[in-house]
A and B are shown apart, each in its own frame.
Chain A
Amino acid sequence: MAAQASGLPAWQGDRRDKLVLPIVWVVLSIIGCLLVTLVWGPHMPPGRASSTAASQSTDITVLATIATPVIIGVLLYFGWALAFWRQKPGDETDAAPLHGNVKVQATWIVATSAIVLSLAVYGTIELIAPAGAGAGQGPQPIFKNGIPPTTSATSWSPNSNNVLQVQVIGQQWAWTFRYPQFGGFETTQLALPVNQPVQFNVTSLDVIHSFWAYTLGVKADANPGVNNVAYTTPTTLGQFQVRCAELCGIWHGAMFDTGEVLTDSSFMAWTQTESVKLASVTKLLPPYALTYDPTNLNLGKVNAALGLTGAGGGFYNPADPEQP
């Protein structure tokens, strides 16, 4: 029918639709896949500044490459139908009735199932291989591949098979970062050593925020009373942006920070400097814990007499049911 509609003899129309169309699709798909993989792929977000970011870029490139033949097929078939199968002026004949085609149906089911299942397997592997792909995994992460254990919670040195712990604390409207393996100092600056695995323990001391180090490929919700763990290994020296990805109040849009990936020696020097600079306030902080609880602090007599029994405005008690 399609061939007849174009005005060609039936055998020529069949040849065009059943031979030329697939060939055009295959050729365009090969060109498209090569362009996506080789030209667009190296520029896929979020870049390759860390192990997780590189993994995400690869995943996006793979998905885009697989999607390319599908998109080209849909658009080509659409254009083909418009060009060759449209109704001629004055032709009011009805189209031929549709009949089941077992080969076409089976091919469709097998092909789409194969694509979806293979992507499911690929996605699962990509969650395991780069330790959760930079996403927050909750307080008990299950994807830790390639991340060393915490052999010491109070000290750290480069290449010591001891993951660097960094606590990320969201608050309206700023990020602060605590380093428990360097005396527990807390700072507004985020510094990380290059090529060293990092464990972010993300929490909040007021509302829900979301820690988003975009170019590192790390994103984890910061919930009050909850520790949300995310892993990465920075691989590129230089600065990176930290943003809040959860609408958290009027200054949400201004809740950003600039972090920096340093060499091992520069990072160790930075921790020494910060430890000394912040020593007087570090001793006033609550004991380090995976959730932030200022009510562990001793309240002075005047504060107590004034009825100030907690941090101003109340505080989300970790003993309360967890927020989603």
Chain B
Amino acid sequence: MSLAQLAQPLDALRRNEVDPVSLPARVATLVVAFLAVVAGVLWVVFDIIGPQPQTENYTAYAKDGQVNVTLMTTAQTTVTNRPDWVSYFIQNPSTKQFDHTTYFAVPANTTVNVTILGYDGCTPLRNPLWGQVSGTVGDVENVQYFNGKTLSAAQNLSTFDSWANCSVQHTFAIPGLGLNVPIASPTTLNENSNLCGTSPCNVDAADEAAPHTVVKFTFKTPSTPGAYRWQCFVPCGLGYVDGNGGPMGTPGYMMGQMEVQA
């Protein structure tokens, strides 16, 4: 084949006499490319970011300007595919079961009485500042220690030295409200070695004897609706850079959101 013959199709192309790609092929390519982009976005949204945890709605359970909210911390999350991650659980106000979520809703301008059952062991705070209670009524939290046999008398505490003492397991902090509550932990080596091994810990049966703390505090919700994120300031994502990955950066474990409803 001569060079002139080889050049003929090219010349035809230049004269727009030959369409290099048919219209259906071009449309199909465009559709496939579009769907690929959409699929990529959906994959990012649903697989990487993940579905939002369910919201425990306490608004309907408020009475006389007050509402009671109960949470639990555990050293593991055996109900998920991340059994080695620490986690919070929130009690369903209807069923009284502890659900694996960190999202809850409360009414605006309401006194929230929070009870946290602390079933995890101690970890020193990276920043000891978070060892001080702030933003609660009286800037205190009420603590009871269960050592596996007896429940101690309740005491109001305002500051925890998590380095000198085995005293803090996590924090419950809502930075937007200036709220910070260190969650007291079992204090002895023996107690920390015999923590509840399933999650959520069964407060009525098998794990009833597991060492834990009962932390109670009260705060007032803002008068205007809005979403307030909350988090733990103990970098408890062991195995992750600076301890802030894993459960620290995943909704449903050590961070969540409080929705204040009108």
Binding site for B on A (CB under 8 A): 169, 171-174, 176, 186-188, 205-207, 224, 249-251, 254, 278, 280-281, 284-286, 292, 294, 297-300, 302-303, 305-306, 308, 310-316
Residue pairs across A and B with Cβ atoms less than 8 A apart, 25 shown, are A171-B126, A174-B233, A188-B175, A206-B242, A207-B241, A250-B255, A254-B176, A254-B229, A280-B132, A281-B132, A284-B128, A284-B131, A284-B161, A284-B163, A285-B129, A297-B128, A299-B163, A302-B166, A306-B166, A311-B235, A312-B234, A313-B238, A313-B244, A313-B248, A314-B243
Are A303 and B122 also in contact (CB < 8 A) when A313-B243, A314-B243 are? yes
A281: min CB distance to chain B, Å: 4
Q: Is B252 an interface residue (CB 8 A)?
A: no
Which residues from chain B sit less than 8 Å from chain A, CB to CB?
121-129, 131-132, 134, 158-159, 161, 163-166, 173, 175-176, 178, 187-189, 192, 229, 231, 233-238, 240-244, 248-250, 255
Give the CA-CA distance A286 to B178 in the complex, in Å. Answer: 22
Bound-complex Cα distance A310 to B243 (A): 11
> In chain B, what residue has the closest Cβ to A278?
B132
Nearest CB in chain A: distance from B151 CB, A:
20
Chain B residues with Cβ below 8 Å from A176 are 127, 129
CA distance A95 to B21 in the complex (A): 38
Give the complex CA separation of A314 and B122 in angstroms. Answer: 15
Q: How far is the CB of B184 from chain A (nearest CB, A)?
A: 14
Which residues from chain B contact A206 at a C-beta distance below 8 Å?
126, 235, 242-244
Q: A206-B242, A302-B188 are in contact. List 10 more A-B contacts (CB 8 A).
A: A172-B244, A174-B233, A207-B244, A250-B249, A284-B163, A297-B163, A298-B164, A308-B123, A312-B234, A312-B238
Residues of B near A316 (CB, < 8 A) are 242
Q: How far is the CB of B178 from chain A (nearest CB, A)?
A: 7
* Nearest CB in chain A to that of B251: its residue: A250
Residues of A within 8 A of B237 (CB): 313
CB distance from B235 to the nearest CB of A (A): 4
**CB pair B243 A280 closer than 8 Å:** no
Do A294 and B128 form a contact, CB below 8 Å, given A249-B249, A300-B165, A308-B123?
Answer: yes
The 3 closest A-B pairs by CB, nearest first: A313-B243, A311-B126, A313-B235
Establish whether residues A251 and B178, one from each chain, have CB atoms under 8 Å apart when the complex forms.
Answer: no
* Cβ contact of A312, chosen from B132, B166, B178, B235, cutoff 8 A: B235
B163 touches A312 (CB 8 A): no
Cα separation A306 to B121 with both chains bound (whole Å): 10
Residue on A nearest B134 in the bound complex, by CB? A188
Docked-complex contact A311 and B124, CB < 8 angstroms? yes
CB-based nearest A residue for B159:
A280
CB–CB B126/A312 < 8 A: yes
Whole-angstrom distance between the Cβ of B258 and the nearest chain A Cβ: 13
Q: How long is the Cα–Cα vector from A206 to B233 in the complex, in angstroms?
A: 11
Q: Are B165 and A312 within 8 A (Cβ)?
A: no
Q: Which residues in B have their C-beta under 8 angstroms from that of A299?
A: 124, 163-164
Residues of A within 8 A of B178 (CB): 188
A300 pairs with B164, CB closer than 8 A: yes
Distance between A271 CB and nearest chain B CB, rounded to angstroms = 16
CA distance A187 to B253 in the complex (A): 27
Chain A residue numbers with a CB within 8 Å of B243 are 206, 311-314
Contacts of B159 in A (CB 8 A): 280-281, 284
Q: By the criterion CB–CB under 8 Å, are A205 and B164 in contact?
A: no
Q: How close is A38's CB to chain B, nearest CB, in angstroms? A: 41
User: How distant is the Cα of A123 from the Cα of B8 in the complex, in angstroms?
Assistant: 61
Q: How far is the CA of A292 from the CA of B242 in the complex (A)?
A: 14
Cβ–Cβ < 8 Å partners of B188 in chain A: 302
